[in-house]
Structure 1
Amino acid sequence: MSRSELEQQAPVAEVTAPHRYELVLPPGWIRIPLREGTKEALEKILFSHMGQVPEGIPRDDAMRFRLEMRRQLEKQARAASRNGGLDLYLPVLPRGGIFLMASFIVAEMPIGQEHGVPPGQVLARLVDDGVPGGAATEVDVAGAPALRRDYRSALDEGELLTRRVDYVIPVANDPGRWISINFSTPGDGDADSEFTDVLVELFDAVVSTFKWSYE
């Protein structure tokens, strides 16, 4: 079970807002907090979680591999933090001798700040706006309406297409506050392959475990 604290604000209309969210992660996946404790989490990954290396890498190169992974993780964490990220999740153990190229970020979103706009109207507007090269649909997350966007994206022209899935979720009992869960993977190099679809299905299964905690 992954738990992450939410920044606290005064409750609205004396209705308790959640203190955190919770997710059930697949085996081999970890959480890197982005607001505090990031350095400690990375140290734990480097010296504990990454005791294994992909097949084909000589034992003498294991530490070099881990240090390179540390550099890449730090880069991802910094980028996610700059974009309002709360937590970064990714697999750190190989499956079948290979590392999965995938990750997702939970972040706060600067939308719906007008408390008078019901979340349903915000979601309907986002669905109507759609998403280039993909689809936007209203779904249920933790027993409440949310948005799911599934699309393909490349950072720069000519780069490999990446499969992306975003969930946009209103914070329960806290009007005007939203979070997003943003998944990204190049899959096996084909954004529409069966392998890539399996990774998307895995992410959707993780989101299906999402719940708010009021403890």
Structure 2
Amino acid sequence: MSTFDMGQQPPPIEAAPPRSYELILPPGWVRIPLRKGTKEALEKILFSHMGQVPEGIPRDDAMRFRLDMRRQLERQARAAKRNGGLDLYLPVLPRGGIFLMASFIVAELPIGQVHAAPPQAVITQLANEDVPGGTATKVDVAGAPALRRDYGSTLEEEKPSPSAKTVQQVALPTRRVDYVIPVPDDPGRWISINFSTPGDGDIDSEFTDVLVELFDAVVATFKWSYE
């Protein structure tokens, strides 16, 4: 569960807005909070959740693998926080001897912060916008209207240069699915749930589709908490 507190007082309306949200995660996935407790969560993952390493990595290289994973997680967490992230979710245990390359971020959105518009109108406008190479559809999340976008994109990833001891940026094709969700009883506040994966290298493959279906199943468990 993540506390949905972004440093502002709830509006003076009769119905109180939610204070948090809840998701049911697949086995092997973890939550990294981005507003506070990030360092502690990363330490727990490094020493508790990453006791296994992919097949083919020698025992002597296990600690180096974990430290490399730690650096990657830190980079992902910093990037997600810069983009308004509340929480970062990703798999940290191998399945079938391999680690899944996938993650999703729950973030706040600036929609309607200056002039709040009816959620239905905003969702309709977003659904009508062109999504290059993808689709935008109206869906229900937690019993209320929301938006789902599914499209291809590119992800900039650091890779060692084969000819020198330097790091270069490599653009990887990724499959992205975004949900845009209004916060109930709190005009002008929205969150997004943003999923990305390179899949097996083919963003339209059956394997990649399975990962997208897994993410959609997670979003189907989303609910608001008022405690």
- TM-score normalized by the length of structure 1: 0.96
1:211 and 2:209 aligned? no
On the 8 A contact 1:12/1:174 being kept in 2, the answer is no
Counterpart residue number, 1:6: 4
Count of aligned positions: 213
1:190 and 2:202 aligned? yes
Residue 116 (structure 1) shift = 4.6
Task: Look up the equivalent residue of 1:109 and give its one-letter code.
Answer: L
Task: Look up the equivalent residue of 1:72 and give its one-letter code.
Answer: Q
Matched-pair identity in %:
79
Counterpart residue number, 1:89: 89
Residue 9 (structure 1) shift = 2.3
Q: How do 1:51-90 residues align onto structure 2 when only pairs under 5 Å count? A: 51-90=51-90
Q: 1:112 to 1:98 in 2, by over 3 A?
A: same
Tell me the SS of whatever aligns to 2:97.
coil
- TM-score normalized by the length of structure 2: 0.91
Q: What CA RMSD, in Å, does the superposition of the two structures yield over aligned residues?
A: 1.4
Residue 189 (structure 1) shift = 0.2
Tell me the SS of whatever aligns to 1:17.
coil
**Match of residue 193, structure 2, among 161, 167, 181:** 181
Task: Look up the equivalent residue of 1:65 and give its one-letter code.
Answer: F
Deviations 1:145-196 (A, max 9, x none): 0000000001469833100000000001101000000000000000000000
Tell me the SS of whatever aligns to 2:172.
coil
Task: Look up the equivalent residue of 1:143 and give its one-letter code.
Answer: G
Unaligned runs of 5+ in 2: 157-168
Q: How do 1:124-139 residues align onto structure 2 when only pairs under 5 Å count? A: 124-139=124-139
List structure 1 segments (4+ residues) > 4 angstroms apart after TM superposition.
Answer: none
Counterpart residue number, 1:201: 213
Q: Distance in 1 between matches of 2:15 and 2:46?
A: 42
Q: Distance in 2 between matches of 1:106 and 1:130?
A: 23
Counterpart residue number, 2:180: 168
On the 8 A contact 1:12/1:173 being kept in 2, the answer is no
Unaligned runs of 5+ in 1: none
